[in-house]
């Protein structure tokens, strides 16, 4: 199996300069390798740094030490040291991140939010529209909402727009931060299927899932972060 | 709503800035700023009032000559030093390849010329002479920025602040500049008008593949519009990186203070 992501010796401490230079250590010396078709679920109680690790893998947080190599265009790129332009390119085509929350762009319709990443990857307009509609339907978002901006949608509806946007054209590596948090049972099932489809298509997945049942069905492997908790 | 950013990404930067400083006597306007900007990229410059961000923008956009350092712009295959070319050439560059969106639309508009005239003038600068086509282009751009066609012959002073700002943006973008400088483009506007304008800018930048430098003190605006961020304090860049990195995991004390001072950016 192809190695898609390899993180080595990651540690992270936050330094709060405006609180007397308080240092908050979160992770110490975490390593992780993920191959195509695998889904690694991060485990451990709150505060063990699951979200922090996921954000480091995405290049959103900068680790204190370590590297995050991802397979992009047939070569390994270190997200930690790569030029910002390259990081954006890796995110556009290789590395996706699904958070619990939709960052609402004012006035943009749900359909356009879902189409947007595909257009950025050069998918033709009509094709992007067709796939976006199919995905919103699969996630049971009522059709009357598709042309509306999601600002006024319920939490679960916004979350489904967010999931549709990410899974309509899955990237080779997907990072999932509790994507099922505000969904009902039916829609959780859809997300479990979407993750399975992405894996079957060769995606490598790293995720955080609070729901035990979902976690057990999604995971091919678990990584418990309790052991890597940095000493405070 | 298509025409994605050209791929493969262009190899050469559009704007190359090396060691730019501007002194006002002994006082530092901005000091030792360097960066590269590529086509299709949006760079944000944030910092509080007096941090030197507007001074820097004036140097970058050819308005004020820096005390030291170089600003070079890629024109075809040449890297042109913006302040060593003759004044008329620089003025022509600023009118055609560049656009400057001022914070106060009155600084960017000709208040005694109709809305259509304001937009059409840039096309004439570029060499267009066909009256019918210029008027048609102007009307089309007014509708792109959501100003009704029947306002074409109205004077900008009869427009609201938000409309004036949209008119200014139409005036700049009609000539298809490759690089746009914006100084607090949503400053002084109502929140609802801001949202409209932000979405308009986001779509235009993406669809037209324009590179932009945006000065703002509003981190939510920076988050929505920019790819990369430079944080300025006392005339110097104290932190830079991907916008989401700088805002979500700020390392410098000043950036931490800025990021923690907003409710939700």
Which of A18, A107, A119 has its CB closest to that of B199? A107
**Residue-level pLDDT at A127:** 97
pLDDT in tens, B144-153: 888 998 999 9
Q: What is the ipTM of this complex?
A: 0.90
* pLDDT exceeds cutoff 90 at B175: no
Q: Minimal Cα distance from A104: which residue of B?
A: B224
**Residue-level pLDDT at B265:** 46
Q: Where are the beta strands (DSSP E) in chain A?
A: 3-16, 22-35, 39-43, 65-72, 75-78, 95-98, 173-177, 204-208, 221-224
Residues 6+ apart with CB under 8 A from B140: none
Fold (topology level) of A1-94+175-180+204-210+219-232: Rossmann fold (3.40.50)
CA pseudo-torsion sign A158, A178, B228, A169: negative
Which of A14, A17, A59 has its CB closest to that of B245? A59
Band of pLDDT at residue B2, cut at 50, 70 and 90? very low
Report the pLDDT averaged over residues B235-257. 94
**Residue-level pLDDT at A152:** 87
Q: Which residues of A touch B248 (CB under 8 A)?
A: 55, 60-61
- The nearest CA of chain A is from the CA of B89 a distance in Å of 31
Which of B242, B249, B257 has its CB closest to that of A87? B242
Which of B9, B224, B257 has its CB closest to that of A89? B9
Query: Residue B7 and residue A55: Cβ atoms within 8 Å?
Result: no
- The nearest CA of chain A is from the CA of B126 a distance in Å of 30
Report the pLDDT averaged over residues A207-215. 91
State the Cα–Cα distance between residues B170 and B138, nearest whole angstrom.
8
Domain boundaries, chain A: 1-94+175-180+204-210+219-232
Band of pLDDT at residue B3, cut at 50, 70 and 90? very low
Interface of A with B (CB under 8 A): 14-18, 55, 59-62, 84-85, 87-89, 105-108, 112, 119-122, 124-125
Chain A, chain B: beta-carbon pairs less than 8 Å apart: 60
pLDDT in tens, A101-151: 777 667 789 999 999 899 888 899 999 999 999 999 999 999 999 999 998
Which of A16, A84, A120 has its CB closest to that of B228? A84
Query: Residue B251 and residue A15: Cβ atoms within 8 Å?
Result: yes
Mean pLDDT computed over every residue of chain B: 87
pLDDT in tens, B196-238: 777 777 777 777 788 999 999 888 889 888 999 999 999 999 9
Query: Residue A18 and residue B199: Cβ atoms within 8 Å?
Result: no
Residue pair A40/A220 in contact by the 8 Å Cβ criterion: yes
Asked which of A32-36, A87-91, B171-175, B227-231 is least confident by mean pLDDT, the reply is B171-175
Q: Which residues of A touch B9 (CB under 8 A)?
A: 85, 89
Residues 6+ apart with CB under 8 A from A213: none
């Amino acid at each position: 199996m192809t190695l898609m992501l390899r993180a080595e010796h990651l540690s992270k401490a936050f330094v709060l300069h405006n609180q007397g230079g308080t240092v908050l250590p979160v992770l110490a010396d975490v390593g992780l390798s993920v191959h195509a078709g695998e889904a690694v679920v991060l485990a451990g109680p709150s505060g063990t740094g699951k979200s922090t690790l996921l954000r480091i893998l995405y290049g959103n947080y900068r680790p204190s030490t370590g590297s995050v190599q991802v397979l992009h265009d047939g070569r390994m790129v270190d997200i930690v040291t790569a030029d910002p332009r390259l990081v954006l390119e890796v995110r556009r085509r290789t590395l996706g991140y699904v958070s619990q929350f939709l960052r609402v762009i004012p006035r943009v319709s749900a359909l356009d939010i879902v189409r947007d990443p595909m257009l950025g990857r050069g998918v033709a307009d009509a094709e992007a529209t067709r796939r976006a509609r199919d995905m919103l339907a699969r996630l049971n978002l009522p059709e009357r909402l598709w042309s509306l901006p999601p600002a006024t949608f319920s939490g679960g509806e916004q979350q489904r727009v967010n999931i549709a946007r990410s899974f309509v054209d899955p990237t080779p590596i997907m990072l999932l931060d509790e994507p099922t948090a505000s969904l009902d049972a039916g829609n959780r099932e859809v997300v479990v299927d979407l993750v399975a489809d992405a894996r079957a298509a060769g995606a490598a997945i790293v995720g955080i899932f609070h729901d035990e049942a979902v976690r057990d069905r999604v995971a091919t492997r678990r990584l418990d972060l309790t052991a890597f908790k940095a000493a405070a | 709503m298509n025409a994605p950013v050209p791929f493969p990404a262009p190899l050469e930067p559009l704007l190359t800035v090396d060691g730019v400083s501007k002194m006002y006597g002994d006082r530092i306007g901005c000091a030792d700023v360097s960066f590269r900007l590529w086509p299709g990229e949006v760079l944000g410059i944030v910092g509080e009032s007096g941090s030197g961000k507007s001074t820097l923008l004036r140097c970058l956009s050819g308005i004020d000559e820096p005390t030291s350092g170089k600003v070079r712009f890629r024109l075809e295959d040449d890297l042109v030093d913006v302040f060593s070319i003759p004044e008329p050439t620089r003025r022509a560059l600023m009118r055609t390849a560049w656009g400057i969106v001022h914070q106060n639309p009155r600084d960017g508009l000709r208040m005694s010329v109709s809305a259509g005239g304001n937009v059409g003038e840039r096309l004439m600068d570029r060499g267009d002479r066909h009256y019918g086509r210029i008027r048609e282009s102007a009307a089309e751009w007014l509708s792109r920025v959501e100003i009704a066609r029947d306002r074409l012959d109205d004077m900008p002073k009869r427009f609201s602040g938000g409309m004036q700002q949209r008119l200014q943006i139409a005036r700049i973008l009609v000539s298809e500049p490759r690089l746009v400088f914006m100084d607090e483009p949503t400053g002084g506007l109502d929140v609802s008008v801001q949202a409209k304008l932000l979405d308009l800018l986001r779509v235009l930048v993406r669809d037209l593949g324009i590179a932009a430098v945006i000065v703002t003190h509003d981190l939510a605006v920076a988050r929505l519009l920019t790819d990369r961020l430079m944080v300025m304090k006392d005339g110097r860049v104290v932190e830079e990186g991907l916008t989401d990195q700088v805002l979500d995991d700020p390392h410098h004390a000043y950036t931490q203070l800025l990021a923690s001072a907003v409710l939700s950016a």
